[in-house]
Amino acid sequence: LTSRFGVAPHLWRHTGSFDDVLSLADVDRLIAGAGLRRPAVRLVRDGTVIPPADYTRRARTGGATISDLVDPGRVLDLVADGATVVLQGLHRWWPPAARFCRDIELVLGHAVQANAYLTPAGAAGLAPHHDTHDVFVLQVAGSKHWTVRRPYLDTPLPRHASDHEVAATQPVLFEAEMTSGDALYLPRGVVHSAAAQRGLSLHLTIGILATTVHDVLRELVDLAAEEVRFRRSLAPGWAFDPDGAEGEVKAAIAALVDWLATADAGAVAERLRDRFVANRTPLLEGQLLEIAALDEIGDDTQVVRRPAAVAHLRVEPGGDTGAGDGGGPRLQLVLGDRRLTMPAALEPAVRRLLDGEPHRVGALADLLDAPSRRVLVRRLVREGILCTRRAPSDA
């Protein structure tokens, strides 16, 4: 995966089944009775988005009325008439896809999203275009014909929308009939299109929303706002004086170049890492049972870092925290939806608990006394970063 990422298109044949992420039977159940709502579902026919009113209805839930409930009968009728069903944002609401995307995020260090496309036989394919994010196409069921062309714009950003006419003129790199178990990687900018197929097709698109060098530069500009010299107003009348406006821009560039030579690269990297971690929604399957059993955690309990958990651990310098700690250093643990602050003395114990190996709570005796280690472990289980593994006492 990492050797191919950002390099060139690649096709893998017969990698195995993707049914553990999403199967045709799963899609059938989701459409038929899962109570799906817009915008989790979108329908397209002949390249045109079908109005939501054609496949949604109003319904009452408790005392509230909702108007975007997906109507299974209407959806299936539209599929029978050639419409493609798009299941959007699967990484947010379908647990197998969420776990799959998180596994990729933990390898690449970039945000990952998942959509699914259910296309009936004979439906019109995609016109040649490029995406502004890298894509893995996973053929789940049926088949689909893909044409891959050279990019006309290298590594585009989201602002670089695809020009379909230009895309269609690019030289073909290869064509492939993808069948169940095949996977295709397309770096952003590579032009591609999908043709109509003979039977029902289901494929997943896994999008990689990469952090780019441009994002680093934007972060630097944001940090520059802390410098007074970059907050001053331009000279009065600059908009009506071309030479004056150019002079202002040149002065700003020169000041920025000087400031960049002193910028703290580590601080910028820290901010980017924090943002990545803070935007990784926790995957909390089983957490209700963990909370219910918190009081049972003792020295004989084994705990392990939750497999899909993302966390960033660091020690912050001292300051007036208002916590009665004398302003000493504090341990910061950045999680997907929260930030925990603890005494810095807990760092060795927390690092051990988060190393991915199972640990018996009592084995922290070399670092913490009995009450302290139980309080710490219960807190980390409560926050969803650890989960329990019951183990017999070996005391």
Q: What is the pTM of this model?
A: 0.89
* Mean predicted confidence (pLDDT) in 70-88: 95
* pLDDT score, position 391: 45
What is the average pLDDT score of the chain? 92
Out of 77-86, 177-186, 333-342, 365-374, least confident range: 333-342
Q: What is the pLDDT of residues 259-295, one digit of tens each?
A: 999 999 999 999 999 999 989 989 999 999 999 999 9
Reported as a single tens digit per residue, the pLDDT across 194-250 is: 987 889 999 999 999 999 999 999 999 999 999 999 999 999 999 999 999 999 999
Whole-number pLDDT of residue 62 = 84
pLDDT bin (cut points 50, 70, 90) of residue 4 is confident
What's the DSSP call for residue 47? T
Q: How confident is the model at residue 6 (pLDDT cuts 50, 70, 90)?
A: confident
Residue pointed to by tokens 């379909």: 164
- Band the pLDDT of 326: cuts 50, 70, 90: low
pLDDT tens digit sequence for 116-172: 999 999 887 788 999 999 999 999 999 999 999 999 999 999 999 999 999 999 999
Q: What pLDDT is stored for residue 91 in this prediction?
A: 96
pLDDT for position 390: 53
Phi, psi of 87 (to 5 degrees): -95, 115
**Residue among 66, 113, 82 nearest 201 (CA):** 82
Over 50: is that where the pLDDT of 321 sits?
A: no
Query: In whole angstroms, what is the distance from residue 340 CA to residue 312 CA?
Result: 10
Query: DSSP labels for 277-329?
Result: HHTS----TTHHHHHHTGGG--TTEEEEE-TT---EEEEEPP---SSSSTT--
Q: Report pLDDT for 393.
A: 44
pLDDT of 41: 96
- Around 264, how many Cα atoms within 13 Å sit in the side-chain half-sphere? 9
Q: Is the pLDDT of residue 98 over 60?
A: yes
d(CA 363, CA 177): 55
Average pLDDT over residues 163-186: 96
CA angle (333 as vertex; 297, 330 as ends), nearest 5: 105
pLDDT in tens, 344-393: 999 999 999 999 999 999 999 999 999 999 999 999 999 999 999 754 44
pLDDT at 320 over 60: no
Count of helices and strands (H, E) across the chain: 11, 20
| Phi and psi at residue 314, to the nearest 5° | -160, 160
